[in-house]
Amino acid sequence: MNKISGVRRVVGAVLIKDLRIEVRSRVVTNQVLPFAGLIMIMFAFALDNDDVLQRVAGGLIWLATMFSLVVIVQRSFAIDTSDGALDLLRVAGVDLSAVFLGKAIALTMQLLVLDVVLVAAAFLLYQVQVSAVGFVLLVTCVIFATTGLGFVGTLYGGLTAGAKGRETLLPLLLLPVMAPVLIAATRATEAAFGSGGAVTSEGWAWVGLLAVFAAVFGLGGTLAFGPLIDE
């Protein structure tokens, strides 16, 4: 009982700390969002065809999310390592699983904001359309996908935090691991948009896969984060 309330306290403290710092520093809103938006616009230049853009909109949203994720994760751990706070977290003897959960939830919430903007950009720039059922599918897909990405990003971000060559090591480790999310979230989003004649009902199976992914890495991360970041 005592342990659970202790864990909840640490999760809450870390979550509030991370979110408050993000709100204050506005790095996500002032830098990552424009970066993600820029990716969407650049794709429009590169593909240069409205029909193609409508078809691939789902994939572009998730590619932009994942590239931004790498940036946000690195930033999230730079906050903790820049003034030695991560060391003090270890010495404080707090449960590192709770730190993992707190940071992962904070990361997921930032990704949710990012995805709302990216989906809006897809509506504006790529002229995609969505039905009411499709909208429900889309929202569910975004929630599960960002949760999975939040877990996996926090886990690998912790591993590479403070390591030499982390700027290149993090994407090397993270991008292949995120492949199932890219495939599943893209298909589900396409089903929601009805891109290329995809049917909405096809999307739900993909959401199931996203849920499995989030569960696997939520559990794996909770267990593995402590051993991974400790010296």
Give the sign of the dihedral formed by CA 147, CA 151, CA 154, CA 157.
Answer: negative
Q: Provide the minimum distance between the beta carbon of 227 and other proteins in the complex, in angstroms, as a whole number.
A: 5
- In the complex with other proteins, which residue's Cβ is closer, 37 or 148? 148
Minimum Å gap between C-beta 155 and other proteins is 8
- What is the per-residue burial (b if ≥16 Cβ within 10 Å, else e) of 156-184? bbbbbbeeeebeeebbebbeeebebbbeb
Closest CA to 167 of 74, 32, 66: 74
Compute the least distance from the CB of residue 11 to other proteins, in Å.
11
Nearer to other proteins, 125 or 182 (CB): 182
In the complex with other proteins, the residue whose CB is nearer, 37 or 158, is: 158
Instruction: Kindly list the residues in this chain that would bind other proteins in the complex (CB under 8 A).
Output: 6, 9-10, 12-13, 16-17, 20-21, 24-25, 79, 82-85, 87-94, 155, 159, 163-164, 169, 172-173, 175-177, 179-180, 183-184, 187, 202, 205-206, 209, 212-213, 216, 220, 224, 227-228, 230-231
E-strand ranges in 112-198 read none
Q: Which is nearer to other proteins, 125 or 177 (CB)?
A: 177
Q: CB under 8 Å to 14, separation ≥6 — which residues?
A: 98, 99, 101, 102, 103, 106
**Cβ 182 to other proteins shortest distance, Å:** 9
Least distance in angstroms from the C-beta of 172 to other proteins: 5
Nearer to other proteins among residue 16 and residue 116 (C-beta)? 16
Give the CA dihedral 84, 153, 108, 121, nearest 10 degrees: 120
Largest CA distance in the chain: 59
